[in-house]
Amino acid sequence: MSLLFDILSSVGMWEAVLRIATPLIFGTLGVLLCERVGVLNLGIEGIMTFGAMVGWLTVYSGGNLWLGLLAAAAGGALFGLLHGVLTALLGLSQHVTGLGITLFASSFSYFVFRLAVPTASSPPTVEPFRAYPVPVLSEIPFLGPVLFNQTAPTYLALGLVAVLAYVLYRTPLGLAIRMTGENPHAVDAQGIDPIRLRIGTIMAGSALMGVGGAFLTLAAFNSFFPTMVQGRGWICVALVVFALWQPGRALLGALLFAFFDAFQLRLQTVVDGVPYQLFLMLPYVLSIVALIVMARRARVPQALMQPYRRGER
Amino acid sequence: MRFERREHPSTTLNLLAPLGAVLAALIVAGLLIAIAGANVFEAYGLILKGAFGSRLGFSETLTRATPLILTGLAAAVAFRARLWNIGAEGQFYVGALAVAAFGMIPAVAGLPAPLAIVLCLGVGAVAGMILLLLPLGLRLKFGVDEVVTSLLLNFIAVLFVSMMIEGAMKDPLAFGWPQSVPVPDNAVLPKLMARTRLHAGLLIALAMAVAVWWLQARTVFGMRARAAGLSPRAAAFAGVPLGRTLVAVACLSGGLAGLAGAIEVMGVKGYVTTDLSPSYGYSGIVIAMLANLNPIGVIGAALFSAVMFVGADSMSRALGIPSYIADVTVALSLLTMLVALFLTQYRISR
């Protein structure tokens, strides 16, 4: 028991929760945006991989860290555009398109990475985002280092939750986005082009996914290597269901998830005799459990996965 | 710009779609090769030479196509019934692991070879089935979308394999490498060509393609699965037992993916590692789509992917272009195929 207490009362553990949650927050918000406008984006796993690679490559070739994040966002948006054209404009299967984009974006990332670094036994590292202690606030005991001694992208992620919630629920644009996810015909009748809105929103959501991926290379691992995203994208898709498509709950879900992840990482080092793979399975098992718990309560956007074609019902 | 649905989609267009899709993917990949600084024609020449140019290369291509045919079929049967089985990768691994575990039973090593082989194949297929019945059960019972659950199960399955081959099933004679105990000699699939890796699994895969075609085109089950995919409500109204049909589809799909894993471990490697599959499960999705979900078409699509993978390996060694170009081309061909299929169904008018 005292062991558990030691883990739970350590500042390092709670600091890690926010750090682990950051890419999930970006990714979950990205998926949430896409699904709110009525499009399932299974491209996330690949888009995160691409964001991770592009962010790393930008910084590796001399760019500034923020330029790296920007490049990742732009790269994500480009794949979002591809996804949007295929699913919103042409009305193709969202499942297959998303998987196709994941396969393409990740293999393309590996290809570019291998071109940039043809032979290297260990992946080259970059100078990552350093923790930025917020003046005064970071000196609060316990809470200070946990909440206010994070890297800049983490603050950005937290801020984004508020911005996104405001845009979705308090602006005409947000209303149009939510309405397109429920009933694109009604949106069209209002004189808004649901297809354009869908493409634009998917691009914005995919940009967030790209940034989430870049966080992995620019603030967590400091380097890029194939298969580094490790299903985080799929976990984000599950988290959106857990969050009932609401930004605030998405933050909660990401934090809860990151808590278990940080906890299992620490438990691994102190518990003997249990195969480490069981701990590593935990995040995926938890995601499935979250889906089961929430499936009954889920109020899915009504037009999710339904292509809109003018003149067709 | 508007899209008009074609009244009568032409058969010619349907047949041309995959060819056009592959061609478009090859052109884009060619651009990447050119950007990477190599001669595109030389690169494609080397890919073809690597895949067909020698007895060894040709046998490797067929060896590589074998699991791809099976995972392609697994995706094709599932997608046709709108069962989104994205978990073939995990099903492949548990299939392989189950065979190795079954081989550890002392009595198995004493069985006559044909019986041992048939039993092992069956065990692998059943393991794959079980792994897919899990997400299907969650969908039928709780309404949980099977896409994400079957995807997440891939990671769990590979971790489980890793746990077993470092633990209870670890080969004590492997100098500490994490690999499973080998399958018994009587369960090893016979070779088709001497001094190559090509094994009888290819014949099994081809037979499965024909069997799946027959099931889908000539049986009540095939008709029901198709109806369930086209319109579940209409199918239910017409008296199709949806739940039971989906369970049967899942058994077939998961079974095929598990079989792929079993065959790979019994024919090629002899033991299980966590790099047994260079994402055969995910490639199966591309192959199924390229084949437009047609079981016989899956054979051709699997061959195309195998040619790319095997050829790109040797091309990469010669020109220094990363062999990931094969993955890029195959993934691209999925996207171009989607567009090509769209063009067979719609015409663009102003």
Residue A160: which residues within 8 A CB-CB, separation 6 or more?
A: A25, A26, A29, A208
Residue A300, domain member (yes or no): no
Indicate if the pLDDT at residue B36 is higher than 80: yes
What is the arithmetic mean of pLDDT over A193-209? Answer: 97
For residue A82, give the nearest of A108, A100, A106, A56 by alpha carbon. A100
B117 to chain A, closest Cα gap in Å: 31
Tens digits of per-residue pLDDT, A59-105?
999 999 999 999 999 999 999 999 999 999 999 999 999 999 999 99
Residue B275's identity, in one-letter code, is D
Indicate if the pLDDT at residue A313 is higher than 70: no
Query: Could you give the CA distance from residue B4 to residue A228 in angstroms, rounded to a whole number?
Result: 43
DSSP string, A28-69: HHHHHHHHHTT---TTHHHHHHHHHHHHHHHHHTT--HHHHH
Residue A104, domain member (yes or no): yes
Answer CATH for B2-349 from 1.10.357, 1.10.3470, 1.20.1070, 1.20.272: 1.10.3470
Helix axes A247-270, A11-36, angle to 10 degrees: 140
Residue A181, domain member (yes or no): yes
Pairs of CB atoms within 8 A across A/B: 129
Question: Does B153 lie at the interface with A, CB-CB under 8 angstroms?
Answer: yes
**By the 8 A CB rule, do B212 and B204 touch?**
no
**What interface predicted TM-score (ipTM) does this complex get?**
0.94
Tens digits of per-residue pLDDT, A30-48?
999 999 999 999 999 999 9
Indicate if the pLDDT at residue A151 is higher than 90: yes
Check B147 against A93: CB less than 8 A apart. no
Instruction: Give the start-to-end residue ranges of the domains of chain B.
Output: 2-349
A298 to chain B, closest Cα gap in Å: 10
Tens digits of per-residue pLDDT, B90-141?
999 999 999 999 999 999 999 999 999 999 999 999 999 999 999 999 999 9
Residue A101, domain member (yes or no): yes
What are φ and ψ of residue B288, in 5° steps? -60, -45
What integer best gives the mean pLDDT of chain B?
A: 94
Residue A313, domain member (yes or no): no
Check B155 against A92: CB less than 8 A apart. no
pLDDT score at A196? 96
> Closest residue of B to A294, CA-based?
B144
pLDDT score at A108? 97
What is the arithmetic mean of pLDDT over B4-26? Answer: 89
Residue B201: which residues within 8 A CB-CB, separation 6 or more?
A: B66, B67, B189, B263, B264, B266, B267, B268
Residue A35, domain member (yes or no): yes
Check B334 against A292: CB less than 8 A apart. no
Tens digits of per-residue pLDDT, B308-340?
999 999 999 999 899 999 999 999 999 999 999
Check A295 against B339: CB less than 8 A apart. no
Q: List the domain range (segments joined by +) for residue A66.
A: 11-118+150-295
Query: Could you give the CA distance from residue A26 to residue A216 in angstroms, rounded to a whole number?
Result: 11
pLDDT score at A212? 98
Tens digits of per-residue pLDDT, A270-284?
888 889 999 999 989
Q: How many domains does chain A have?
A: 1
pLDDT score at B3? 83
Residue A131, domain member (yes or no): no
Supply the CATH number for residue A240's domain: 1.10.3470
List the single residue in B32, B144, B167 with the smallest CB-CB distance to A292.
B144
Q: What is the DSSP letter of B348?
A: E
pLDDT score at A1? 63
pLDDT score at B263? 98
pLDDT score at A206? 98
Indicate if the pLDDT at residue A299 is higher than 90: no
